[in-house]
């Protein structure tokens, strides 16, 4: 099956509500579309459980550059998301001034390294990077190093939060499809002020055509966009997850998926679906609000939901 285009538009979300694909006997497959609903039935990835001889090397090494004295929680939630999504080895790089606050609450499975120059991360052997959650305003002393890291790395790199603000302030930074930018609407406005006023779907298409990076535009219908590909529109999520930290958790989840070998475009779509479903599961079981920590606690069940629905 396939979702009707109008059902996927952001401005229709309150009228449409939840979306799901179901099989209808006797109908042929849908033709090419410029928009796709992210669901287990419409995507090919995530089908196969880990083989019995799987090990942490296959799960991938993820590097995270995140945190500051004021925003230590963002770094911790990013690491937690990566841990729950199955990264094999996770190293969190944080400024020296933030390390004590981060260390006190960081999951014991995550390594912590002092990082006063982002270029030092280039010497590590990572399979993917997450850059930006909770970094705070980037001082001039770190700007050159951060730019060098973003432009020089050859691995999938997610850029979020203060990393996005840095990119918005330096339009000459070279990006490509390995870079996954994950802005909320306010951050997207800073990245592309000239696209303000256009509908989210049109703005996402225009942005990836000129920027060449992959885009995950957050919202009640999160959009994942890549030049030359149909827009992917997320089918999960709940207003109960409208609180701080969810984006940091999502960054970690997507980072882990990329470290495990997924392309940025696929990892963005899968990660958005998983976090939305995890929050839905928490609310179904407990009611009320789903914090980022609540969402993290249900990620294992969300992975299981995806695989069960693909059978």
223-225 and 214-217: which strand pairing? Answer: antiparallel
Tokens of 297: 């606690």
Looking at residue 109, its pLDDT comes to: 98
Looking at residue 8, its pLDDT comes to: 76
Alpha-carbon gap, residue 302 to 110, rounded angstroms? 22
Looking at residue 17, its pLDDT comes to: 74
Asked whether residue 4 is domain-assigned, the answer is no
Asked whether residue 158 is domain-assigned, the answer is yes
Q: Splitting the chain (311 residues) into consecutive groups of 10 residues, what average pLDDT does each group show?
A: 68 71 53 87 88 96 98 99 99 97 98 96 98 89 90 98 95 95 98 97 98 97 98 98 99 99 98 99 98 99 95 82
Side-chain half-sphere exposure of 129, counting CA atoms within 13 A: 28
Domain residue limits at 89? 57-310
Helix axes of 299-310 and 264-286: crossing angle, nearest 10 degrees: 110
Asked whether residue 274 is domain-assigned, the answer is yes
Asked whether residue 9 is domain-assigned, the answer is no
Asked whether residue 48 is domain-assigned, the answer is no
SS3 129: strand
Phi, psi of 211 (to 5 degrees): -90, -35
Q: What is the tally of structural domains in the chain?
A: 1
Question: For the whole model, what pTM was predicted?
Answer: 0.94
Asked whether residue 155 is domain-assigned, the answer is yes
Alpha-carbon gap, residue 96 to 116, rounded angstroms? 7
Alpha-carbon gap, residue 129 to 149, rounded angstroms? 10
Asked whether residue 116 is domain-assigned, the answer is yes
Question: How big is the chain, counted in residues?
Answer: 311
Closest CA to 147 of 127, 123, 181, 175: 175
Domain harbouring 205, CATH code: 3.40.1190.20
Note the helical H segments in the chain. Answer: 5-8, 13-16, 56-59, 72-84, 96-103, 140-152, 162-168, 185-191, 200-211, 246-259, 264-286, 292-297, 299-310
Asked whether residue 13 is domain-assigned, the answer is no
Alpha-carbon gap, residue 70 to 101, rounded angstroms? 9
Report pLDDT digits (tens) over 95-153: 999 999 999 999 999 999 999 999 999 999 999 999 999 999 877 767 899 999 999 99
The DSSP letter of residue 91 is: E
Tell me the sheet residues that pair with 130: 64, 158
């Amino acid at each position: 099956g396939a979702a009707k285009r109008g059902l996927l538009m952001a401005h229709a979300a309150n009228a449409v509500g939840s979306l799901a694909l179901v099989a209808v006997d006797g109908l042929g497959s849908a033709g090419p579309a410029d928009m796709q609903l992210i669901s287990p039935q419409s995507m090919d990835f995530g089908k196969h459980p880990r083989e019995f001889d799987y090990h942490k090397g296959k799960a991938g090494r993820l590097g995270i550059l995140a945190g500051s004295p004021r925003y230590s929680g963002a770094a911790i939630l990013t690491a937690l998301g990566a841990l729950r999504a199955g990264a094999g080895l996770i190293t969190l790089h944080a400024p020296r001034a933030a390390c004590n606050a981060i260390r006190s609450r960081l999951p014991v499975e995550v390594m912590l390294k002092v990082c006063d120059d982002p270029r030092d991360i280039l010497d590590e052997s990572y399979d993917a990077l997450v850059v930006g959650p909770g970094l705070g305003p980037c001082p001039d002393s770190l700007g050159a190093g951060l730019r060098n890291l973003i432009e020089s790395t050859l691995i999938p790199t997610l850029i979020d939060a203060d990393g996005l603000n840095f990119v918005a302030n330096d339009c000459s930074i070279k990006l490509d499809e390995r870079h996954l930018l994950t802005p909320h609407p306010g951050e997207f406005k800073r990245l592309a002020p000239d696209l303000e006023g256009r509908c989210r779907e049109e703005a996402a298409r225009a942005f990836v055509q000129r920027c060449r990076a992959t885009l995950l535009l957050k919202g009640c219908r999160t959009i994942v966009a890549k030049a030359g590909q149909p827009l992917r529109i997320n089918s999960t999520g709940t207003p109960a997850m409208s609180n701080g930290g969810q984006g940091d958790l999502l960054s970690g989840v997507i980072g882990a998926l990329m470290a495990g070998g997924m392309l940025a475009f696929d990892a963005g779509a899968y990660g958005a679906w998983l976090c939305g479903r995890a929050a839905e599961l928490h609310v179904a079981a407990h009611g009320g609000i789903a914090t980022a920590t609540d969402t993290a606690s249900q990620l294992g069940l969300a992975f299981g939901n995806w695989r069960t629905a693909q059978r």
